Amino acid sequence: MNKIKEMGKSLVHAYRCDVSDKNEVFKVAAKVKKEVGDVSILINNAGIAPLRTLLNYDINEISRVVDVNLMAHYWTMKTFLPNMIERNHGHIVAISSVGALYGIPHGTIYSATKIAIRALMESVSEELRMYSKGKSSVKFTTIVPGIVTTGLAKNARPRFPWLVGTYSAQHIASLIIDAQRRDFKEKSFPSYSLLIFAILSRGQRSYGEEVFKSKEYGR
């Protein structure tokens, strides 16, 4: 925020919100509406990824991952999508993961939430297309990135780095903005990931283990 303001971009607003708490999402959304106005672009990006075997997950931890990674998408869409439909203008971007293309060892919860995001985005897009008889101008974009060098993926050790791709937060942010502006329905980074994993899924059922060295993940 301070950096943006230093660049002379004064019309910037920031709000603290626990997106896993639906009541807080609704409350903050109302505040945004009052202080800023209608939201035209929604980017659902929040995610956490404690990686360990399924039996080593705490029950509350499972709920927390699902609430942050998946349920938050429902709460923000329920909040902002109706107004976008009413104005026939808006764009929702959801950040999935290359982990949605195959099961990551020690990622039983993380991968499941990222797979669900892809299904959610495709379903809501089709619903809107069907009920508007193809006349809706509201856009949906699902981003499927490889490894982003944040704390979220610090233990990831891809066996084939070229296949998964590694990006800085700044680089992936610029790629996401470009994909949104170009109205991609789904875009992976690297761009060939979707095709490669679609091919692998037909012939190699254990490709998740092949791509990642599972022993490198947390217990």
Q: What are the catalytic residues?
A: 110
What does DSSP say about strands 90-95 and 41-44: parallel, antiparallel, or unpaired? parallel
Residue 124: how many CB atoms within 10 A of its CB? Answer: 18
Whether 194 and 186 have beta carbons less than 8 Å apart is answered as: yes
In one-letter notation, the amino acid at residue 164 is: V
Residue 144: how many CB atoms within 10 A of its CB? Answer: 24
Between the alpha carbon of residue 108 and those of residues 74, 102, 113, 200, the distances in Å are 21, 10, 9, 20
CA angle, residues 173, 188, 81, in degrees to nearest 5:
70
Reduce the DSSP state of residue 158 to 3 states and report it.
Answer: strand
